[in-house]
Chain A
Amino acid sequence: EIVMTQSPATLSVSPGERATLSCRASQSVSSNLAWYQQKPGQAPRLLIYGASTRATGIPARFSGSGSGTEFTLTISSLQSEDFAVYYCQQYNNWPPRDTFGQGTRLEIK
């Protein structure tokens, strides 16, 4: 079983500043890592897959990095619409098992 641990649980950042969210896997997941954004009352939205590839329509201020067990989602200049919960998800193991991290809540400072 691969355990995904996200940190911090809550991150407070001011608009216009940079936000850095972390995700750690209990064993290597290569680059098979995705990030999702979820706003209150909405379905999750795919931001990043393959650790660093932005999904269709995702602004360039969102970037992903890392491989193996350590991953980072960076939002370069926070906009008001970016305050949400972010989940990382590994998809390296087969058959699929536990896959999502517990989430990081990004809140306005």
Chain B
Amino acid sequence: EVQLVESGGVVVQPGGSLRLSCAASGFTFDDYAMHWVRQAPGKGLEWVSLISWDGGSTYYADSVKGRFTISRDNSKNSLYLQMNSLRAEDTALYYCAKDIAEDTAMVFDYWGQGTLVTVSS
């Protein structure tokens, strides 16, 4: 059974930093690209970032480019999101999601339950 478990969400002040983690199990982690997708309270879904299976390629939404860094450790079956220079508009539930294809398809077939990041003074 595929499982994705996010952690690391807390309340942080504007301008602060945070690192989210996602522990993956139930599939061959280093075969698939992985994503972060977020959802502000009461709002829709926003794709945030993508990392290829080997970590060699990364992509970001314009809203987070230059502030967030996605990474992975295939030896630990883990995905990360380093979030710097946080803003109030980054407040959201952050989901870790698996790509459906071994070469990136941008289709998310499994999702974690999310970890809540609140940016507030």
A91–B106 touching, CB < 8 Å: yes
B44–A97 touching, CB < 8 Å: no
CA distance A56 to B44 in the complex (A): 24
Interface check A73, CB cutoff 8 A: no
A46–B100 touching, CB < 8 Å: yes
How far is the CB of A28 from the nearest CB of chain B, in Å? 16
Chain A residues whose C-beta falls within 8 Å of the C-beta of B47 in the assembled complex: 96, 98-100
Chain B residues whose C-beta falls within 8 Å of the C-beta of A103 in the assembled complex: 44-45
Interface check A44, CB cutoff 8 A: yes
B95–A43 touching, CB < 8 Å: yes
How many chain B residues sit at the interface, stated as a range, is 20 to 34
Flag B90-121 by CB within 8 Å of A: 1 or 0 each.
00000100001000011111111110000000
| In the complex, residue of chain A having the shortest beta-carbon distance to the beta carbon of B113 | A43
Interface check B27, CB cutoff 8 A: no
| In the complex, residue of chain B having the shortest beta-carbon distance to the beta carbon of A38 | B45
Known: A43-B112, A100-B46. A91 touches B105 (CB 8 A): yes
B46–A44 touching, CB < 8 Å: no
Chain A residues whose C-beta falls within 8 Å of the C-beta of B46 in the assembled complex: 100
CA distance A100 to B46 in the complex (A): 7
How far is the CB of A7 from the nearest CB of chain B, in Å? 14
Which of A91, A95, A96, A102 is in CB contact (< 8 Å) with B44?
A102
A34-B107, A46-B110, A87-B44 provided; 13 other pairs, C-beta below 8 A?
A34-B108, A36-B108, A43-B95, A44-B108, A49-B100, A49-B107, A55-B109, A95-B59, A96-B47, A97-B61, A97-B62, A100-B47, A103-B44
